[in-house]
Protein backbone atom coordinates (compact mmCIF):
# COMPACT_ATOMS: atom_id res chain seq x y z
CA UNK A 1 0.00 0.00 0.00
CA UNK A 2 0.99 3.61 -0.57
CA UNK A 3 2.82 4.67 2.63
CA UNK A 4 1.16 8.04 2.14
CA UNK A 5 -2.21 6.51 2.92
CA UNK A 6 -1.29 4.54 6.05
CA UNK A 7 -3.38 5.69 8.97
CA UNK A 8 -6.19 6.99 6.76
CA UNK A 9 -8.88 5.05 8.60
CA UNK A 10 -7.76 6.44 11.96
CA UNK A 11 -7.80 9.96 10.51
CA UNK A 12 -11.32 9.41 9.14
CA UNK A 13 -12.45 8.22 12.57
CA UNK A 14 -11.08 11.38 14.19
CA UNK A 15 -12.76 13.57 11.57
CA UNK A 16 -16.12 11.88 12.13
CA UNK A 17 -15.78 12.32 15.90
CA UNK A 18 -14.96 16.02 15.44
CA UNK A 19 -17.93 16.49 13.09
CA UNK A 20 -20.31 14.78 15.51
CA UNK A 21 -19.04 16.93 18.37
CA UNK A 22 -19.43 20.18 16.42
CA UNK A 23 -21.95 22.63 17.81
CA UNK A 24 -21.76 25.15 14.93
CA UNK A 25 -22.88 23.38 11.78
CA UNK A 26 -23.68 26.43 9.62
CA UNK A 27 -27.03 27.06 7.91
CA UNK A 28 -28.86 24.85 5.42
CA UNK A 29 -29.65 26.64 2.13
CA UNK A 30 -33.32 27.55 2.09
CA UNK A 31 -33.67 29.57 -1.14
CA UNK A 32 -34.49 26.27 -2.88
CA UNK A 33 -37.59 25.28 -0.85
CA UNK A 34 -37.14 21.56 -1.51
CA UNK A 35 -33.69 21.67 0.13
CA UNK A 36 -34.71 23.74 3.16
CA UNK A 37 -35.92 20.72 5.12
CA UNK A 38 -32.71 18.65 4.93
CA UNK A 39 -31.53 17.51 8.39
CA UNK A 40 -28.38 19.55 9.20
CA UNK A 41 -27.14 16.84 11.59
CA UNK A 42 -25.88 14.63 8.77
CA UNK A 43 -22.22 14.18 7.87
CA UNK A 44 -20.59 11.82 5.39
CA UNK A 45 -17.07 11.44 4.01
CA UNK A 46 -15.65 9.07 1.45
CA UNK A 47 -12.14 8.74 0.03
CA UNK A 48 -11.34 6.82 -3.17
CA UNK A 49 -7.59 6.10 -3.31
CA UNK A 50 -5.28 5.59 -6.26
CA UNK A 51 -4.78 1.97 -5.19
CA UNK A 52 -8.47 1.34 -5.95
CA UNK A 53 -9.60 1.08 -2.32
CA UNK A 54 -12.35 3.23 -0.86
CA UNK A 55 -12.71 4.37 2.75
CA UNK A 56 -15.90 5.95 4.11
CA UNK A 57 -17.33 7.16 7.41
CA UNK A 58 -20.62 8.60 8.64
CA UNK A 59 -23.56 9.11 6.28
CA UNK A 60 -21.51 8.27 3.18
CA UNK A 61 -24.37 6.23 1.69
CA UNK A 62 -27.10 8.86 2.02
CA UNK A 63 -27.96 10.57 -1.30
CA UNK A 64 -27.87 14.37 -1.35
CA UNK A 65 -28.40 17.07 -3.97
CA UNK A 66 -25.02 17.68 -5.60
CA UNK A 67 -26.07 21.13 -6.90
CA UNK A 68 -23.00 23.07 -8.07
CA UNK A 69 -20.68 20.08 -7.86
CA UNK A 70 -22.44 19.13 -11.12
CA UNK A 71 -20.71 22.09 -12.77
CA UNK A 72 -17.50 20.04 -12.92
CA UNK A 73 -19.16 17.29 -14.96
CA UNK A 74 -20.96 19.82 -17.16
CA UNK A 75 -17.66 21.58 -17.86
CA UNK A 76 -16.01 18.31 -18.87
CA UNK A 77 -18.88 17.61 -21.29
CA UNK A 78 -18.91 21.14 -22.75
CA UNK A 79 -15.13 21.07 -23.27
CA UNK A 80 -15.54 17.72 -24.98
CA UNK A 81 -18.11 19.24 -27.33
CA UNK A 82 -16.52 22.64 -28.03
CA UNK A 83 -12.90 22.38 -26.95
CA UNK A 84 -11.18 25.73 -26.41
CA UNK A 85 -13.96 27.58 -28.26
CA UNK A 86 -15.82 27.50 -24.94
CA UNK A 87 -13.39 30.12 -23.58
CA UNK A 88 -14.77 32.75 -25.95
CA UNK A 89 -17.96 32.65 -23.86
CA UNK A 90 -16.71 32.23 -20.30
CA UNK A 91 -13.56 33.37 -18.49
CA UNK A 92 -11.09 31.66 -16.22
CA UNK A 93 -10.68 34.16 -13.39
CA UNK A 94 -11.96 33.95 -9.82
CA UNK A 95 -14.86 36.35 -9.37
CA UNK A 96 -14.41 37.37 -5.74
CA UNK A 97 -18.19 37.59 -5.61
CA UNK A 98 -21.06 35.38 -4.47
CA UNK A 99 -21.97 32.35 -6.59
CA UNK A 100 -25.17 33.99 -7.83
CA UNK A 101 -23.85 37.52 -8.37
CA UNK A 102 -24.87 39.53 -11.43
CA UNK A 103 -22.50 42.48 -10.82
CA UNK A 104 -19.66 41.73 -13.23
CA UNK A 105 -21.86 40.79 -16.16
CA UNK A 106 -22.66 44.38 -17.10
CA UNK A 107 -19.03 45.47 -17.14
CA UNK A 108 -17.89 42.40 -18.98
CA UNK A 109 -20.44 42.29 -21.82
CA UNK A 110 -22.30 39.26 -20.57
CA UNK A 111 -19.16 37.08 -20.38
CA UNK A 112 -19.09 35.46 -16.91
CA UNK A 113 -15.80 35.34 -15.01
CA UNK A 114 -15.53 31.55 -14.75
CA UNK A 115 -17.48 28.31 -15.37
CA UNK A 116 -18.27 27.68 -11.69
CA UNK A 117 -20.24 30.78 -10.69
CA UNK A 118 -23.88 30.43 -11.68
CA UNK A 119 -23.67 32.75 -14.70
CA UNK A 120 -20.69 30.82 -16.05
CA UNK A 121 -22.29 27.45 -15.40
CA UNK A 122 -25.46 28.54 -17.20
CA UNK A 123 -23.33 29.43 -20.25
CA UNK A 124 -21.54 26.08 -20.00
CA UNK A 125 -24.86 24.21 -19.96
CA UNK A 126 -26.11 26.37 -22.84
CA UNK A 127 -22.99 25.48 -24.83
CA UNK A 128 -23.20 21.80 -23.91
CA UNK A 129 -26.78 21.73 -25.21
CA UNK A 130 -25.40 22.67 -28.65
CA UNK A 131 -28.64 22.15 -30.50
CA UNK A 132 -29.67 19.09 -28.52
CA UNK A 133 -32.86 18.82 -26.46
CA UNK A 134 -32.38 19.17 -22.69
CA UNK A 135 -33.42 15.52 -22.29
CA UNK A 136 -30.54 14.40 -24.52
CA UNK A 137 -28.00 16.57 -22.69
CA UNK A 138 -29.22 15.33 -19.29
CA UNK A 139 -28.98 11.76 -20.56
CA UNK A 140 -25.38 12.41 -21.58
CA UNK A 141 -24.64 14.03 -18.21
CA UNK A 142 -26.03 11.01 -16.32
CA UNK A 143 -24.10 8.62 -18.59
CA UNK A 144 -20.91 10.57 -17.90
CA UNK A 145 -21.41 10.60 -14.12
CA UNK A 146 -22.46 6.94 -14.02
CA UNK A 147 -19.43 5.92 -16.10
CA UNK A 148 -17.15 7.98 -13.87
CA UNK A 149 -18.61 6.41 -10.72
CA UNK A 150 -19.03 2.97 -12.34
CA UNK A 151 -22.49 2.99 -10.79
CA UNK A 152 -25.82 3.20 -12.67
CA UNK A 153 -27.89 3.99 -9.59
CA UNK A 154 -27.50 7.78 -9.94
CA UNK A 155 -30.58 9.87 -10.76
CA UNK A 156 -32.08 13.35 -10.97
CA UNK A 157 -34.55 14.46 -8.28
CA UNK A 158 -37.35 16.10 -10.29
CA UNK A 159 -38.95 17.67 -7.21
CA UNK A 160 -35.73 19.58 -6.48
CA UNK A 161 -35.47 20.72 -10.10
CA UNK A 162 -39.11 21.84 -10.09
CA UNK A 163 -38.67 23.65 -6.78
CA UNK A 164 -35.75 25.63 -8.20
CA UNK A 165 -37.56 26.32 -11.48
CA UNK A 166 -40.35 27.98 -9.51
CA UNK A 167 -38.08 30.10 -7.34
CA UNK A 168 -34.88 30.60 -9.38
CA UNK A 169 -35.49 34.22 -10.30
CA UNK A 170 -31.85 35.23 -9.92
CA UNK A 171 -30.76 32.53 -12.35
CA UNK A 172 -33.47 33.66 -14.79
CA UNK A 173 -32.14 37.20 -14.46
CA UNK A 174 -28.59 36.01 -15.19
CA UNK A 175 -29.72 33.99 -18.20
CA UNK A 176 -31.83 36.79 -19.68
CA UNK A 177 -29.02 39.28 -19.16
CA UNK A 178 -26.55 37.07 -20.98
CA UNK A 179 -29.07 36.39 -23.73
CA UNK A 180 -29.37 40.17 -24.18
CA UNK A 181 -25.60 40.23 -24.75
CA UNK A 182 -25.79 37.38 -27.25
CA UNK A 183 -24.06 34.94 -24.91
CA UNK A 184 -26.91 32.42 -24.68
CA UNK A 185 -27.81 30.34 -27.74
CA UNK A 186 -31.02 28.90 -26.38
CA UNK A 187 -34.12 30.49 -24.84
CA UNK A 188 -33.42 31.07 -21.11
CA UNK A 189 -36.24 28.68 -20.09
CA UNK A 190 -34.67 25.87 -22.08
CA UNK A 191 -31.10 26.33 -20.83
CA UNK A 192 -32.26 26.81 -17.24
CA UNK A 193 -34.49 23.73 -17.43
CA UNK A 194 -31.36 21.73 -18.25
CA UNK A 195 -29.30 23.61 -15.64
CA UNK A 196 -31.79 23.10 -12.78
CA UNK A 197 -32.07 19.38 -13.54
CA UNK A 198 -28.28 19.10 -13.75
CA UNK A 199 -28.02 20.67 -10.27
CA UNK A 200 -30.69 18.23 -9.00
CA UNK A 201 -28.57 15.12 -9.55
CA UNK A 202 -28.46 13.14 -6.31
CA UNK A 203 -25.45 11.13 -5.21
CA UNK A 204 -23.99 9.68 -2.04
CA UNK A 205 -20.49 10.60 -0.84
CA UNK A 206 -19.35 7.11 -1.83
CA UNK A 207 -20.66 7.62 -5.37
CA UNK A 208 -19.30 11.16 -5.70
CA UNK A 209 -15.81 10.18 -4.52
CA UNK A 210 -15.78 7.46 -7.17
CA UNK A 211 -17.15 9.84 -9.83
CA UNK A 212 -14.27 12.23 -9.13
CA UNK A 213 -11.56 9.64 -9.81
CA UNK A 214 -11.24 10.73 -13.46
CA UNK A 215 -9.77 13.99 -12.10
CA UNK A 216 -7.03 12.27 -10.06
CA UNK A 217 -4.68 11.81 -12.99
CA UNK A 218 -3.70 8.39 -11.62
CA UNK A 219 -3.25 5.14 -13.57
CA UNK A 220 -6.13 2.68 -13.52
CA UNK A 221 -8.80 5.35 -13.01
CA UNK A 222 -11.70 5.94 -15.46
CA UNK A 223 -10.26 8.09 -18.25
CA UNK A 224 -13.07 10.29 -19.49
CA UNK A 225 -11.07 13.38 -20.52
CA UNK A 226 -7.46 13.98 -21.56
CA UNK A 227 -4.68 14.43 -18.98
CA UNK A 228 -4.21 18.01 -20.13
CA UNK A 229 -7.88 18.79 -19.54
CA UNK A 230 -7.79 17.10 -16.13
CA UNK A 231 -5.04 19.53 -15.07
CA UNK A 232 -6.98 22.52 -16.30
CA UNK A 233 -10.25 21.49 -14.64
CA UNK A 234 -8.31 21.04 -11.39
CA UNK A 235 -6.78 24.50 -11.79
CA UNK A 236 -10.24 26.01 -12.17
CA UNK A 237 -11.52 24.09 -9.15
CA UNK A 238 -8.64 25.42 -7.06
CA UNK A 239 -9.07 29.04 -8.15
CA UNK A 240 -12.86 29.26 -8.61
CA UNK A 241 -14.49 26.16 -7.08
CA UNK A 242 -15.62 27.88 -3.88
CA UNK A 243 -16.63 31.29 -5.31
CA UNK A 244 -15.56 34.12 -2.99
CA UNK A 245 -14.33 31.43 -0.57
CA UNK A 246 -11.86 29.96 -3.11
CA UNK A 247 -8.78 31.69 -1.72
CA UNK A 248 -9.61 30.62 1.81
CA UNK A 249 -10.26 27.03 0.72
CA UNK A 250 -6.90 26.91 -1.10
CA UNK A 251 -5.20 28.39 1.97
CA UNK A 252 -6.82 25.97 4.41
CA UNK A 253 -7.03 22.78 2.33
CA UNK A 254 -4.50 23.28 -0.48
CA UNK A 255 -6.41 21.07 -2.91
CA UNK A 256 -8.79 21.66 -5.85
CA UNK A 257 -12.40 21.43 -4.74
CA UNK A 258 -15.94 22.12 -5.96
CA UNK A 259 -18.75 22.84 -3.55
CA UNK A 260 -22.53 22.86 -3.89
CA UNK A 261 -25.29 24.46 -1.81
CA UNK A 262 -26.57 20.99 -0.97
CA UNK A 263 -23.52 20.84 1.33
CA UNK A 264 -21.38 18.53 -0.79
CA UNK A 265 -17.76 19.12 -1.78
CA UNK A 266 -15.67 17.13 -4.24
CA UNK A 267 -11.94 17.44 -3.50
CA UNK A 268 -9.07 16.07 -5.58
CA UNK A 269 -5.64 15.14 -4.23
CA UNK A 270 -3.88 14.75 -7.60
CA UNK A 271 -2.33 11.33 -8.06
CA UNK A 272 -3.61 10.23 -4.65
CA UNK A 273 -7.30 10.49 -3.94
CA UNK A 274 -10.77 11.66 -4.86
CA UNK A 275 -12.69 12.80 -1.79
CA UNK A 276 -16.37 13.60 -1.30
CA UNK A 277 -17.68 15.17 1.89
CA UNK A 278 -21.22 16.20 2.76
CA UNK A 279 -22.73 18.21 5.57
CA UNK A 280 -25.77 20.36 4.69
CA UNK A 281 -24.97 23.39 6.86
CA UNK A 282 -23.20 26.17 4.94
CA UNK A 283 -20.80 28.98 5.81
CA UNK A 284 -21.24 32.62 4.74
CA UNK A 285 -19.96 31.89 1.21
CA UNK A 286 -22.46 29.06 0.68
CA UNK A 287 -19.91 26.26 1.08
CA UNK A 288 -20.32 23.36 3.52
CA UNK A 289 -19.04 24.47 6.91
CA UNK A 290 -18.23 21.09 8.46
CA UNK A 291 -17.30 19.73 5.03
CA UNK A 292 -14.57 22.35 4.70
CA UNK A 293 -13.33 21.71 8.24
CA UNK A 294 -13.28 17.96 7.56
CA UNK A 295 -11.22 18.16 4.36
CA UNK A 296 -8.91 20.70 5.99
CA UNK A 297 -8.18 18.13 8.71
CA UNK A 298 -7.91 15.29 6.17
CA UNK A 299 -5.45 17.17 3.95
CA UNK A 300 -3.31 18.27 6.87
CA UNK A 301 -3.16 14.90 8.61
CA UNK A 302 -2.46 13.03 5.34
CA UNK A 303 0.00 15.62 4.08
CA UNK A 304 -2.00 16.06 0.88
CA UNK A 305 -1.48 19.40 -0.87
CA UNK A 306 -0.82 20.59 -4.40
CA UNK A 307 1.77 22.91 -2.84
CA UNK A 308 4.16 20.14 -1.82
N1 LIG B 1 -28.75 25.27 -8.29
C2 LIG B 1 -28.07 26.22 -7.46
C3 LIG B 1 -28.28 27.63 -7.99
O4 LIG B 1 -28.22 27.82 -9.16
C5 LIG B 1 -26.62 25.87 -7.43
C6 LIG B 1 -25.80 26.87 -6.60
C7 LIG B 1 -24.72 26.24 -5.78
O8 LIG B 1 -24.70 25.04 -5.54
N9 LIG B 1 -23.82 27.06 -5.30
O10 LIG B 1 -28.49 28.54 -7.24
Q: Same structural domain for residues 196 and 178?
A: yes
Q: Same structural domain for residues 78 and 25?
A: no
Q: Same structural domain for residues 104 and 195?
A: yes
**Which residues fall within 8 angstroms of residue 13, CB to CB, at 6 or more apart?**
57
Quick one: average pLDDT of 121-144?
Answer: 97
ipTM of the complex: 0.97
Cα of 256 to ligand 1 centre, how many Å? 19
Burial class (CB in 10 A: 0-12, 13-18, 19+), 67: buried
Q: Same structural domain for residues 11 and 106?
A: no
Cα of 219 to ligand 1 centre, how many Å? 33
Q: Is the CB of 260 under 6 A from ligand 1?
A: yes
Does residue 2 register a pLDDT over 80? no
- pLDDT tens by residue, 206-264: 999 999 999 999 999 999 999 999 999 999 999 999 999 999 999 999 999 999 999 99
Q: Same structural domain for residues 188 and 79?
A: yes
Quick one: average pLDDT of 268-273?
Answer: 98
287 is in an annotated binding site: no
Does residue 10 register a pLDDT over 60? yes
Q: What is the pTM of this model?
A: 0.98
> Would you say 303 and 4 are in contact if contact means Cβ atoms under 8 Å apart?
yes
Q: Same structural domain for residues 134 and 104?
A: yes
- Single out the residue in 201, 235, 250 at which a domain terminates: 201
Whole-number pLDDT of residue 3: 54
- pLDDT tens by residue, 65-111: 999 999 999 999 999 999 999 999 999 999 999 999 999 999 999 99
Does residue 1 register a pLDDT over 60? no
Domain residues for 57? 3-67+202-302
Q: Which of 107, 210, 112 is nearest to 153 (CA)?
A: 210
As a whole-number percent, the residues of the chain with pLDDT over 70 amount to 99
Q: Same structural domain for residues 36 and 74?
A: no
Q: What average pLDDT does the chain have?
A: 97
Whole-number pLDDT of residue 4: 67
Q: Same structural domain for residues 157 and 276?
A: no
Whole-number pLDDT of residue 47: 98
The CATH number for 27's domain is: 3.40.710.10
Q: Same structural domain for residues 73 and 182?
A: yes
The CATH number for 160's domain is: 1.10.1500.10
List active site positions: 68, 71, 195, 243, 261
Q: Which of 102, 86, 48 is nearest to 236 (CA)?
A: 86
Amino acid sequence: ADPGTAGLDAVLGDILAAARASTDRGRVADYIPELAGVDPGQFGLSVALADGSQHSVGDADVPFSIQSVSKVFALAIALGRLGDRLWARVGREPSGLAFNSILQLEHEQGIPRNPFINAGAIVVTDAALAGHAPREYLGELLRFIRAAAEDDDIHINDAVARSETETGHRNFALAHYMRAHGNLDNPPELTLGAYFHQCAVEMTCAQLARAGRFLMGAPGMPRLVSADRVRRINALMLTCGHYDGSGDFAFRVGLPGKSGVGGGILVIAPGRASVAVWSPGLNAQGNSKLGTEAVEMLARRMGWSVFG
